[in-house]
């Protein structure tokens, strides 16, 4: 498939026909938009907009979403904007309405079969790569994430623990241990009924960077995806991760920017 065909498939299967990203949340069609709505600890936001959306329709849709989440009492929600979404000035219209853009990421996709040479990668010496299957494992995963990124991971803990408890077949979580300490972690979201799995996380503490842990975590998840019959791996990659993933065989299809609306700001 050509990159544009894969992107169209991604837009259709994971955005327009999105599934809830965990138990207790719902996906709704709201006029020209698709949004996910959950509790305060869940991800809330717009995942897709109709490609035919024009300037007038965009302004009306933006106002409707602000009113919707305001009525629910949520302090914030996100509009996940992709570079090929319309109208062309949608980002500017979101800013004008009070949304604040966060760091832009690159949408990368790789056919699982193209990653065959990578899938055999093993952890570097001194590392045990463990599956996360319970609350204790989630705590180790969260600790690795917080040490790697320097930010709190309460929402991550809630999301992974809830998924493991209620839909364990839809998530794969891993933590890398060195001498009894968590030094890296990552997860994979499985999207049943589609050709895609999503790679998320992949943070490594500073002392262990540059030793192949990121590659190992990608390899292990790619192996699992292949075993389960999925065709593509998808990543929203940071500026740090994107070059590594491109070297491993991923292709850039678009960029994506989270526009965040916070009530009262």
CATH number of the domain encompassing residue 7 = 3.40.630
| Number of domains forming the structure of the chain | 2
Q: Is 30 left (phi over 0), alpha (psi -120 to 50) or beta?
A: beta
Q: Are residues 170 and 243 in the same domain?
A: yes
Q: Are residues 150 and 188 in the same domain?
A: yes
Q: Are residues 156 and 231 in the same domain?
A: yes
SS3 153: coil
Q: Which residues of 164-183 are buried (b: 16+ CB within 10 A; e: fewer)?
A: beeeeebbbbbbbbbeeebb
Q: Are residues 73 and 142 in the same domain?
A: no
Q: Are residues 95 and 134 in the same domain?
A: no
Q: Cα-flanking dihedrals φ and ψ of residue 161, to 5°?
A: -65, -40
Tell me the C-alpha distance between 27 and 25, whole Å: 7
Q: Are residues 120 and 244 in the same domain?
A: yes
- Structure tokens belonging to residue 147: 């040490």
SS3 9: helix
Would you give per-residue pLDDT tens digits along the chain (265 residues)?
A: 899 999 999 999 999 999 998 778 999 999 999 999 998 888 999 999 999 999 999 999 999 999 999 999 999 999 999 999 999 999 999 999 999 999 999 999 999 999 988 888 889 999 999 999 999 999 999 999 999 998 888 888 988 999 999 889 999 999 999 999 999 999 999 999 999 999 998 889 999 999 999 999 999 999 999 999 999 999 999 998 999 999 999 999 999 999 999 987 6
* Residue 218 CB partners (closer than 8 Å, separation 6+): 115, 118, 121, 186, 199, 202, 245, 248
Q: Are residues 205 and 92 in the same domain?
A: no
Q: Are residues 128 and 228 in the same domain?
A: yes
Q: Cα-flanking dihedrals φ and ψ of residue 264, to 5°?
A: 80, 5
Q: Are residues 126 and 235 in the same domain?
A: yes
Which residue range is the domain that position 64 belongs to? Answer: 3-106+256-262
């Amino acid at each position: 498939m050509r990159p544009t065909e894969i992107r169209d498939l991604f837009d259709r299967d994971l955005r327009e026909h999105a599934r809830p990203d965990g138990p207790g949340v719902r996906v709704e069609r709201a006029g020209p938009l698709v949004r996910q709505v959950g509790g305060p600890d869940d991800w809330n936001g717009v995942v897709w907009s109709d490609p035919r959306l024009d300037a007038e329709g965009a302004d009306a849709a933006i106002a409707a979403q602000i009113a919707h989440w305001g009525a629910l009492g949520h302090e914030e929600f996100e509009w996940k904007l992709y570079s090929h979404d319309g109208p062309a000035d949608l980002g500017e219209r979101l800013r004008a309405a009070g949304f604040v853009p966060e760091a832009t990421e690159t949408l990368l996709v790789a056919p699982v079969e193209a990653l065959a040479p990578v899938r055999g990668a093993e952890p570097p010496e001194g590392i045990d790569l463990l599956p996360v299957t319970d609350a204790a494992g989630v705590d180790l995963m969260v600790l690795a994430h917080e040490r790697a990124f320097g930010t709190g991971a309460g929402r991550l803990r809630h999301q992974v623990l809830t998924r493991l408890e209620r839909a364990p077949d839809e998530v794969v979580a891993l933590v890398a241990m060195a001498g009894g300490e968590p030094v890296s972690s990552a997860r994979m979201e499985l999207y049943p009924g589609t050709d895609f799995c999503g790679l998320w996380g992949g943070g490594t503490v500073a002392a262990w960077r540059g030793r192949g842990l990121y590659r190992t975590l990608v390899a292990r998840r790619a192996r699992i995806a292949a075993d389960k019959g999925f065709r593509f791996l998808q990543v929203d990659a940071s500026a740090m991760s994107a070059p590594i993933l491109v070297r491993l065989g991923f292709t850039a299809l678009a960029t994506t920017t989270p526009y965040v609306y916070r009530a009262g700001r």
